[in-house]
Amino acid sequence: MIGLVAACLIISATPAISQDMGASCTSAEHAEFDFWLGDWEVHTVDQQLAGTNRITKVHGGCVLREEWTASGGGTGGSYNIYDSTRGTWHQTWVDDQGNLLLLDGGLDARGRMVLRGERPGDDDVTITDEISWELNEDGTVTQVWSTSTDAGATWRELFRGVYRKK
């Protein structure tokens, strides 16, 4: 009997919890990264095809899902969400090589989406990753991924790509 009562309490409380946590996702902040939505070809600065990327809204429009396919055959993807409880954007990236990036941030003064995170490197070095996305006047998006091994004192650019709608 106690188990039945507990189950009923859990079931009746679940919709209220879900409604509070799902708080509509229609605020201006939830739309800040919408410029990245679409089916894209991604080219390097020397015009080589780096791969394709599909960015869609899922889970009731609350989450941007990224599906990446590199021109060399690798795959990866991310989930991106505006975390209204912390007032920040979050990205979780995973790929077919077992890599994981956990990034947080938001729009900077220039209107770029800038996300940063730390991960362990070799020899007890902490690697800071920073990835930015900027909407250009012509509708393309420029993505830049840089890393630092000295807490941001110096940066090394790993990737710069231009997204063009398919």
Integer Cα distance of 49 and 68 in angstroms:
13
Whether residue 165 has pLDDT greater than 60 = yes
Whether residue 56 has pLDDT greater than 60 = yes
Q: What is the pLDDT of residue 76?
A: 98
pLDDT tens digits along 12-44: 444 443 444 545 899 999 999 999 999 999 999
Instruction: Name all domains of the chain by residue range, CATH numbers in brackets.
Output: 25-165 (2.40.128.20)
Integer Cα distance of 157 and 90 in angstroms:
21
For 45, the 3-state DSSP assignment is coil
Tell me whether residue 42 is exposed, middle or buried, using C-beta atoms within 10 angstroms of its C-beta: 0 to 12, 13 to 18, 19 or more.
Answer: buried
Q: What is the pLDDT of residue 9?
A: 39
Q: What is the pLDDT of residue 98?
A: 96
Q: Which residue has the tokens 């940066």?
A: 155
From residue 20, alpha-carbon distances to 12, 24, 31 in Å are 14, 9, 19
**pLDDT, average across residues 147-158:** 97
For 17, the 3-state DSSP assignment is helix
Q: What is the pLDDT of residue 21?
A: 52
pLDDT tens digits along 57-83: 999 999 999 999 999 999 999 999 999
Integer Cα distance of 93 and 78 in angstroms:
4
pLDDT tens digits along 108-151: 999 999 999 999 999 999 999 999 999 999 999 999 999 999 99
Whether residue 8 has pLDDT greater than 50 = no
Q: What is the pLDDT of residue 24?
A: 85
Whether residue 106 has pLDDT greater than 70 = yes
Give the list of residues 6+ apart from residue 51 with CB closer than 8 angstroms, or none: 41, 42, 68, 69, 70, 71, 72, 74
